[in-house]
Structure 1
Amino acid sequence: MKKLFILFLLLLSLACANKEQADLIVTNANIYTVNNAFDKAEAFAVRDGKFVAVGSTQSILNDYDSENMLDAEEQTIVPGFIDAHCHFLGLGQNQQAVDLVGTTSFEEVVKRVIDFQNKRNQKFIKGRGWDQNDWEDKEFPTKKLLDNLFPNTPVALERVDGHALICNQAALDLGNVTADTKVDGGEIILENGELTGVLIDNAQLMVENAWPKDSREDTVR
């Protein structure tokens, strides 16, 4: 019996000796590899600051050993993003809004909003990407058409540079914006003393801060 135990320890020692050493092993993760096939994995081993293996938890533990083991508890792990200036959360949020880039008139903007709402049926409509300089009429639009089409659904459409919003009355009411409202560092555009729906810079925050916050599920999606 003693000999069998010694033999077992010897075999175990040999098995461990055959494993490569890693500085860190992460297991039980949801890993986006971002390879050509966009495969997912469960675990990886790191040595000298580099990934030396990516695969299933079992395969990594079979081939590698480390004093530093980390259970990711099924959390998502993605490769590091390295860029001079990025807004990844904003990019994802824009995918949930009306894409208005490339529109050549406010009528086209409104058509895209209608098409979007017919598909999504949102309680609140966001959009981004319009630029009045690309239109024949290069003036800021007004909220009249949006008010007629969406009298009860707040609509807020952001200019391509993020420095202006065109809102319908429902969105302005959400932010308590009136013709008498004053904003430091921003402007509420009026026409003959009436709201046009256009908010500039800090004035946008009145509507944006009153907008319902995305749920965690919406943010992840």
Structure 2
Amino acid sequence: MTIRFRTLLTALLLSPVSLLADTLLVKDVNGYTLNAEGDLITFSNMLVEDGKVAGLNVSGSQQTDRVLDGGGKTLLPGLIDAHGHLLGLGANLLEVDLRDSTSAAEAAETVAAYAFANPEQRWITGRGWNQELWSDRAFPTASVLDEKISDRPVWLTRVDGHAGWANSQTLALAGINKDTPDPAGGKIVRDMDGKATGVLIDNAMALVESRMPAASAKQYAAQLDAAGQHLLSQGVTAMHDAGISHAVYDFYLQQAVEEALPVRIYAMIAATDPDLNQLLANGPVIGKQDFLHIRSVKAYGDGALGSRGAALLAPYSDAPHQEGLMVTQPEEFASLFNTVLDAGFQLNFHAIGDRANHLALNQFEKSFKQTDGKALRNRIEHAQVIDVADLPRFAELGVLPSMQPTHATSDMNMAEDRIGEDRMAGAYAWKTLLESGIPLPLGSDFPVELANPFYGLHAAVTRQDRNNQPVKGWYAHEAMTLKQAFKGFTLDAAYAGHMEKRIGTLEEGKWADFILVDQDIFAIPATELWKTTVLQTYLAGDKVFEASGQ
């Protein structure tokens, strides 16, 4: 343990809670929360003492320092996103956004306009393109970018973060040419002559990203501020950051000491970080005010479905010569799993395809026989396409499927094309997994998807997009009830982060993280859920966001 880390950690753990003795009465609200058993309960007022819930439906007159009159509005616990990328969201908010582009040419025009407006930027970076939403459904090429900007390197990440699009200058800086081999777990997309086209998939992205200038603490701070304010405006008061580097680990620790974290962060150390063993040796980080917890590792199994990087047990239905990519090679699983679990850290394994899920479950089963890791609430992140025979194994092994409902509604235009109708029986199988008896923590995977949790609640309950299509829902037999989805974004998400005694519900003794919204989500048609607007957001009883006009 370094001297600097020991000093920061001591400051974090021993710093007194900054909240002064304070009482808040929240009255005249249409309140909903779950209890520890997952039952939905209602309340009309709430007493908060020193930032924590002291009681619901309190009777009699209360002498309090502050009073919040809810005016009959609906109050909910602060929502928890169980899988996102905090600084990635911040970067996305600050760089060129290609989410709405309808073609490669339009995306290149957007990039050119951004580059013109930001002449000081050495690299032009962006995110959000998705060829599956373009009419030709074809990967873009470097030449399209070259026509618009060739004087600076350009690097544009696909919406799922599992592919990147470069211009020719970027390819040259990365040393990528016809003779460059595909790295293990990666793919350089090539033309008929073997020349790199400009798209790199999964581990091949490192060929470019290793040449990019490292982010500074100033950039991290700007990203953190942008992302934090955005999440609070969406009603998200806590999130699980799925894969942080040593540099971000140190940055978060410093921000926690300075009490500058805008939301509660449950951070997962990236298994690919070269300092993983050192960070494991530091032990868990749990601050007294619960704004930063670091006690888990994010490992990377395969790629994504949209870029055909998800690892499948049989070839893709729409590309019979492809079976996807294993980003971490199977022969490396045992050492990685056992190292993380032996250190007492939860292991959260990215697996989208049925092969990646199958191999991960197999290794968890083996490792649990060699370690005490089963009680750590280990997770498979995404768990999108699962062999039907593997579905009950999550509950049997106590491995949590950490899922993102809007992935299903975003993928429905291509998922069946990719894997065929038969394999859809184990895809996005939320209800089946819940009925097996395993908690189902929910998130968005922002900035892959939009961070608004009400979009996730809507997708979970309706299996529809925000145009309410298809009318009867997409594979609607796997839809959740609203209470199940609400639990996924509150109690189950807290449980997945070992924080269910601190946050997730508005029970006595837990932090008073809550939001006021403009409609009663339990009284409106499910098709209207996504339209919910957050009016105010509170962390530990303090207002941290208010919509304009309130």
User: Which TM-score band applies after superposition, normalised by the shorter structure?
Assistant: 0.5 to 0.7
- Bigger strand fraction: 1
Give 1:168-207 correspondences, 5 Å limit: 168-182=167-181, 183-191=183-191, 192-207=193-208
Aligned to 2:405: none
Aligned to 2:209: 208
Q: Does residue 165 of structure 1 match 2:140?
A: no
Deviations 1:115-142 (A, max 9, x none): 1112112210111111111111111111
Aligned to 1:133: 132
Deviations 1:162-207 (A, max 9, x none): 1111101111122222221121101101112212011011001110
Q: Which has the higher contact order (CA 8 A, sep 6+)?
A: 2
**Aligned mates of 2:199, 2:167 — CA distance in 1:** 9
CA distance 1:25–1:149, change in 2 (3 Å):
closer
CA distance 1:46–1:185, change in 2 (3 Å):
farther
Count of matched residue pairs:
156
**Aligned mates of 1:25, 1:141 — CA distance in 2:** 51
Give 1:1-221 correspondences, 5 Å limit: 24-26=16-18, 44-45=19-20, 50-51=50-51, 82-121=80-119, 122-182=121-181, 183-191=183-191, 192-221=193-222
**Aligned mates of 1:25, 1:203 — CA distance in 2:** 45
Alpha-carbon contact 2:109-2:148 (below 8 Å) kept: no
**Aligned mates of 1:175, 1:46 — CA distance in 2:** 56
After TM superposition, give the deviation of residue 96 of structure 1 in Å. Answer: 2.4
Name stretches of at least 5 consecutive residues in structure 2 with no aligned partner. Answer: 1-15, 23-47, 53-64, 66-77, 223-550
Name stretches of at least 5 consecutive residues in structure 1 with no aligned partner. Answer: 1-23, 27-43, 53-62, 64-79
After TM superposition, give the deviation of residue 152 of structure 1 in Å. Answer: 2.6
Alpha-carbon contact 2:155-2:165 (below 8 Å) kept: yes
**Aligned mates of 2:21, 2:124 — CA distance in 1:** 45
CA distance 1:141–1:118, change in 2 (3 Å):
same
Question: TM-score scaled to structure 1, two decimals?
Answer: 0.64
Amino-acid identity (%): 41
Alpha-carbon contact 1:179-1:195 (below 8 Å) kept: yes
Alpha-carbon contact 1:25-1:46 (below 8 Å) kept: no
**Aligned mates of 2:130, 2:21 — CA distance in 1:** 47
2:125 partner SS: strand
Alpha-carbon contact 1:127-1:156 (below 8 Å) kept: yes
**Aligned mates of 2:100, 2:147 — CA distance in 1:** 24
**Aligned mates of 1:25, 1:201 — CA distance in 2:** 42
